[in-house]
Structure 1
Amino acid sequence: MTRMKKYALAVSVTAALVAVPAALPTAAFATASPEPVPAPGATVAAAPAQPATVKAPATAGKTTAKTHASPVRVVAPGERVKAAPGVELWLTPEGKHWSTGDGGENFRSVVDGNLDMSAPGVSHQTEGTAKRLFHSGVWYGTKAAARVVLTDAAGGTTTAKLVELPGKPGWGAWYATTPAAAGDGHGVTLYDRHGRVLAELPGFDR
């Protein structure tokens, strides 16, 4: 009988010890909220990804090489170009033609042997009135011509317009108008599209 009482007492003590944690305040165990566990089969939406920051290249907006777009106009053989008031200019395989204000015509040959077509060069003809001068010429010996600039005695410059026949024959014509007060002693410089000098024709004092 004594043995049965000891066993019952031990069981009662054990039950009392197990029941102690349940009597403690609930707040003692609420130090952190656990992440909710999704139900089986549920779809969990991922947080949207933040877009990456893209930096523009350090060279954006900078020009590394200075070039001039070619202003050479391609014209058909015999096509008339209004070069100045009362003046027309046109090209044929034989050379440059231009009209004068009085109805006359002039011609500069590129096939008569007077131009050395094996090297870059430029020619210059001038005519005009008391108010203005019409300048024109032939550039030749190169397919890289892109710009012709006239320079007067005072250092003023005028950029000419260029024309050539289809197929880049290696020559073409240029023309420009300047005030007569500037004189007719303009120098002429032929450039390529990168600004390099291809040929020069010095000016002279009037």
Structure 2
Amino acid sequence: MSPQPESERLRRIFAEAALAVTPSAVPLAAIEKAGRRHRRRRTTVLSTACGLLLLPLAATTVHLASPETTTIGQPAPPTASARVVAPGERVQVAPKVSLWLTKDGKHWSTPTQADQFRSITDGNLDMSRPGVSLQSEPVDGTYLLSGVYHGKGDATTVRVVTDKGTVNGHIVTLAGNPGWGAWYATNPLPHRRLPTGPTSADGKDDLVKSVTVLDAAGRTIAALTHP
């Protein structure tokens, strides 16, 4: 037999050695366990990420819904403000009707009665305690209600309860917080015969049930009630 080349001899040696080696079993259980652990880790990461994405949406929903639950049904505070005038400065309170103040009291004029006056110094008003006066008269298809108020605090609005409902009126005052001022409002004419001139009833007219002067916080400065 002729000698074999060196390369062929080496190949045969390696082949015989490979056939003598027994391969180990594939670790299927370990691979499966590792796969389950990997899937759980991926699921946890995805759940956390989704939760972080949904959290801002939930917070936004609560933020938008809160104002509705806290404001519905609550009464609004008074938003009017008193008109501060100089002595003698005229304010148009209705068509052809003007009102002005001096240090002595309230003045007003209507088409039928000019230069009317309600004094705060003649002793007819007890200025030592809070109070409200009332004058009422028909003017061009409406009922003009007005008066003088006095008391502590900065008045901003007046609420008049009539036999037709509630009317929100206006406040006029002099600068310097003198402790008194005037108020006025208008109301539809009642379905009954009215006097042709002004009535200085100071609350004894059955058209008006009550007059309440309020400050900006809704606190009562002075009130008049007609039983």
Which residue pairs with 2:220 in the alignment?
197
1:125 aligned onto 2:135: yes
Which residue pairs with 1:169 in the alignment?
178
Q: 1:76 aligns with which of 80, 86, 91?
A: 86
Q: 2:147 aligns with which of 119, 133, 137?
A: 137
Q: Which amino acid aligns with 1:193?
A: A
Distance 1:130 1:87 in 2: 10
Sort the Cα spacing of 1:144 and 1:130 in 2 relative to 1 into closer, same or farther, 3 A.
closer
Q: Where does structure 2 lack aligned partners over 5 or more consecutive residues?
A: 1-55, 193-204
Sort the Cα spacing of 1:66 and 1:179 in 2 relative to 1 into closer, same or farther, 3 A.
closer
Q: Where does structure 1 lack aligned partners over 5 or more consecutive residues?
A: 1-52
Provide the identity percentage: 46
Q: Which structure has greater helix proportion? A: 2
Query: TM-score when scaled to structure 2?
Result: 0.57
Distance 2:87 2:226 in 1: 31
Distance 2:180 2:123 in 1: 14
State the Cα deviation string for residues 158-201 of structure 1 (Å, max 9, x = none). 11111100111111101111111267521211222222233321
User: SS of 2:187's equivalent?
Assistant: strand
**What is the CA distance between 1:153 and its match in structure 2?**
2.1
Distance 2:177 2:126 in 1: 17
**What is the CA distance between 1:103 and its match in structure 2?**
5.3
Distance 2:107 2:139 in 1: 19
1:116 aligned onto 2:139: no
RMSD: 2.9
Distance 2:214 2:189 in 1: 25
- Contact 1:147 1:191 (8 Å CA) reproduced: yes
Q: Which amino acid aligns with 2:156?
A: A
Sort the Cα spacing of 1:151 and 1:165 in 2 relative to 1 into closer, same or farther, 3 A.
same
Query: TM-score when scaled to structure 1?
Result: 0.62
